[in-house]
């Protein structure tokens, strides 16, 4: 049976703040926002385009979870966002206030720049070679 990773949970402080960033700044699509109870929602966002893995925006519900917001990768790049037009996306994200931690660089696997989301997670924006 074919398998794929449908979603990755990403701890966030608040649902609406995270939706605003991912859908407003990074231009992801809101796939689903379903209220599960008074405090919990099932919120899926993903980059626009065919297929791809979604992020399940999971509001941290305990002190232990809140400590992990922005550090799910232990300080390493945690998420990898592929693009087919690095230059356009880099300029657009920079203009929208996305904080890149360094200049774009060319690597054997493609053009890449690291950015941080407002919660502290490190991402690679990559145009594969």
Residue range 11-64, pLDDT digits in tens: 999 999 999 999 999 999 999 999 999 999 999 999 998 878 999 999 999 999
Q: What is the pLDDT of residue 60?
A: 97
Query: Above pLDDT 70, what percent of the chain?
Result: 100
Q: pLDDT averaged over the chain?
A: 96
Q: Measured on CA atoms in the order 92, 98, 102, 105, is the torsion positive or negative? A: negative
Determine the structural domain holding residue 38 and report its residue range.
1-69
**Global pTM value:** 0.93
Task: Give the CB-side neighbour count of residue 80, counting CA atoms within 13 A.
Answer: 9
Region 73-83 average pLDDT: 95
Based on the domain organization, do 42 and 79 belong to the same domain?
Answer: no
Length of the chain: 129
Based on the domain organization, do 1 and 56 belong to the same domain?
Answer: yes
**How many degrees, rounded to 5, is the angle at CA 50 between CA 31 and CA 104?**
95
Residue 4: strand pairing partners: none
Based on the domain organization, do 24 and 85 belong to the same domain?
Answer: no
The answer to whether 96 and 108 have CB atoms below 8 angstroms apart is no
Structural domains in the chain (count): 2
Helix (H, G, I), strand (E, B) or coil at 70: coil
Q: What is the pLDDT of residue 50?
A: 82
The answer to whether 113 and 102 have CB atoms below 8 angstroms apart is yes
Based on the domain organization, do 47 and 96 belong to the same domain?
Answer: no
Q: For residue 128, what are the contacts with CB-CB under 8 A and spacing of at least 6?
A: 82, 109, 110
Q: Give CA–CA dist 22/24, Å, rounded.
A: 6
């Amino acid at each position: 049976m074919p398998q794929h990773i449908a979603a990755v949970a990403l701890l966030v402080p608040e649902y609406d703040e995270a939706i605003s960033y991912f859908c407003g700044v990074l231009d992801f699509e809101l796939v689903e926002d379903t209220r599960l109870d008074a405090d919990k929602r099932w919120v899926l966002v993903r980059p626009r385009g065919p297929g791809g893995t979604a992020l399940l925006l999971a509001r941290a519900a305990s002190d232990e979870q809140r400590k992990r917001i922005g550090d799910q990768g232990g300080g390493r790049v945690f998420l990898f966002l592929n693009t087919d037009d690095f230059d356009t996306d880099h300029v657009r994200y920079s203009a929208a206030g996305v904080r890149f931690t360094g200049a774009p660089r060319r690597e054997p696997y493609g053009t890449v720049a690291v950015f941080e989301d407002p919660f502290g997670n490190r991402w690679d924006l990559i145009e594969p070679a």
